[in-house]
Chain A
Amino acid sequence: MDDKTLIRGILEDKPGVLEFIYKENRDDFINWAIRRYSCQIEDAKEIFQLAVILLYENIKNDRMKELTSSLKTYLFAIGRNKLLENHRESKFLTGLDPFIHGFGIKEEASGFSEEQYLQVDKALKTLGQGCQELLVGFYYQRISLRDLTMKLGYKTEQSTKNQKYKCLQRLRAMVFNGTQN
């Protein structure tokens, strides 16, 4: 699969695209990370996993309007930044949760704690599949309301919008008031 096909695959949420990218690049990345940054295999692997997710998000968030290098180079550049961050912080922050650490959303950076994110996580999981698909689709996968209307079988774009608002309000109520609207 060429880069354009892969990017289109991510934009259209085709199954198996991230798996393909992961399998195609993992060993090269790990070898490169060990050689260039003298890190451990497990660290390189974890960072590569974060890089693949960030690549996905950058494509979805339209941050890669024109790819001036290959997808592999771009993926490695994301990984490189994470390796450097890891290297810079490892002196002082050993033992920190690698997920939070890796994404740079530590308590003092985002203003929110992991506990707060876990609270949202828990509430989101109790919302039901319909609401989860709507909220994740719109806010994370950045699918337009028009496409979500077709994908999830709503009658009109306005009804999708109304339902998304209701879902967000239910989530808000569960997180901030501890109740279900």
Chain B
Amino acid sequence: MNNEEKYIELLDAYLEGTLTDAQAAEMKSLVSQEPRLAEETELLIGGIYYTVRQSQLAELKKIDEEMGAPVLKMNYWATTTYQFRWMAAALAILVLGVVVWLFLPNINRSEKLFQAYYQMYPNIAFIQERSSKVGEVSIAEKAMLNYQTAKFEEALALFYQLPKEDMTVTFKFYIGNLHLALQQSDSALWYYDQVIKANQEFALQSQWYAALTLVREGKYKEARTHLELIAREENSYRKKALRLLEATGAKTK
């Protein structure tokens, strides 16, 4: 059985919930020897999801057309109280906006640049904890579920309950993401740095998110160090890195 066949067999076991600890270790070792296996399969399965979701969306749109226009239960703009509240809120935002625009131009620019490139990394981690029993939701799984549903603080609290020996680079990467989402840049950078140093899975992604964290902080020079490393080789972040390099003031050739 070649590595590709072995990897698919292990992935099937994972998806069917029958993956043992030994198999999980074998899977991890296969992926570290040949990262291509996981990357290619991730794209193929993602593509399958893409296809089905598009066809389901088309089906739902058809049902929607058959249903006709939705019945709205009230006219939300009918009362003057509502209008007044919205106008007051809009005015307050306008005043705040002017203040921010006048006094914090750099912060505004960094945050805008960050937001233009930032997207929370999706939950694609394969989870296997030593302590988890078959059929029982493990701490890491709970953490990842909270991550996925944007309950960042809860997710972080659960990750910190993991025993030290279970703290893989994958989890460190996701913890970095959680700190970034909670605007805790120093902690995020610390975890990304750990993953980059380990130079295993998620090292490239960590370079990217570390760069984004530094962009948000307005530390463009440091961000460019990460971006230049990403842009050196062909990879899925290269184009974005080149654009962000330009946006952060790097001289282009």
Cβ-based interface call for B63 (8 A): yes
Cβ-based interface call for B252 (8 A): no
Cβ-based interface call for A34 (8 A): yes
**Residues in chain B near residue A105, CB distance under 8 A:** 46, 50, 122
Q: How far is the CA of A49 from the CA of B57 in the complex (A)?
A: 7
Taking a contact as CB atoms closer than 8 A, the residue among A41, A49, A104 that contacts B60 in the complex is: A49
**Residues in chain B near residue A121, CB distance under 8 A:** 47, 50-51, 54
Distance between B5 CB and nearest chain A CB, rounded to angstroms: 7
Cβ-based interface call for A10 (8 A): no
Q: Are B236 and A56 in contact (CB under 8 A)?
A: no
**Residues in chain A near residue B12, CB distance under 8 A:** 138, 145, 161
Q: Are A111 and B150 in contact (CB under 8 A)?
A: no
**Residues in chain A near residue B61, CB distance under 8 A:** 49
Q: Are A111 and B5 in contact (CB under 8 A)?
A: no
Residue pairs across A and B with CB atoms within 8 Å: the count is 143
Cβ-based interface call for B246 (8 A): no
Taking a contact as CB atoms closer than 8 A, the residue among B48, B63, B72, B208 that contacts A139 in the complex is: B48
Q: Are A99 and B46 in contact (CB under 8 A)?
A: no
State the majority secondary structure of interface residues on B: helix
Q: How far is the CA of A139 from the CA of B49 in the complex (A)?
A: 8
Q: Are A103 and B53 in contact (CB under 8 A)?
A: yes
**Residues in chain B near residue A99, CB distance under 8 A:** 53-54, 57
- Complex interface bits, B67-79 against A, C-beta within 8 A gives 1, otherwise 0: 1001111101000
A133-163 contacts to B, CB under 8 A, are 135-136, 138-140, 142, 144-145, 161
**Residues in chain A near residue B76, CB distance under 8 A:** 34-35
Q: Are A140 and B48 in contact (CB under 8 A)?
A: yes
Distance between A104 CB and nearest chain B CB, rounded to angstroms: 6
Q: Are B50 and A145 in contact (CB under 8 A)?
A: no
Tier of interface size on chain A: 35 or more
State the majority secondary structure of interface residues on A: helix
Q: Are B70 and A26 in contact (CB under 8 A)?
A: yes
Q: Are A52 and B145 in contact (CB under 8 A)?
A: no
Distance between A114 CB and nearest chain B CB, rounded to angstroms: 8
Q: Are A27 and B48 in contact (CB under 8 A)?
A: no
Q: Are A18 and B60 in contact (CB under 8 A)?
A: yes
Q: Are A31 and B236 in contact (CB under 8 A)?
A: no
B31-75 contacts to A, CB under 8 A, are 39-54, 56-57, 59-61, 63-64, 67, 70-74
Taking a contact as CB atoms closer than 8 A, the residue among A34, A109, A116, A165 that contacts B121 in the complex is: A109
Taking a contact as CB atoms closer than 8 A, the residue among A31, A53, A110, A124 that contacts B122 in the complex is: A110
- Complex interface bits, A34-61 against B, C-beta within 8 A gives 1, otherwise 0: 1100000100010001101100100000
Distance between A84 CB and nearest chain B CB, rounded to angstroms: 7
**Residues in chain B near residue A31, CB distance under 8 A:** 70, 72-74
Cβ-based interface call for B93 (8 A): no
Please list the 6 inter-chain residue pairs (A to B) with the smallest Cβ-Cβ separation, ordered nearest first.
A120-B47, A109-B119, A117-B50, A111-B236, A49-B60, A121-B51
Of the A-B pairs whose beta carbons lie under 8 Å apart in the complex, a sample of 5, sorted by A's number, is A45-B70, A62-B17, A84-B150, A105-B46, A124-B47
Q: A99-B57, A111-B237, A135-B48 are known; give 8 further A-B pairs, CB within 8 A.
A: A62-B17, A92-B116, A99-B54, A105-B50, A109-B119, A111-B205, A121-B50, A175-B40
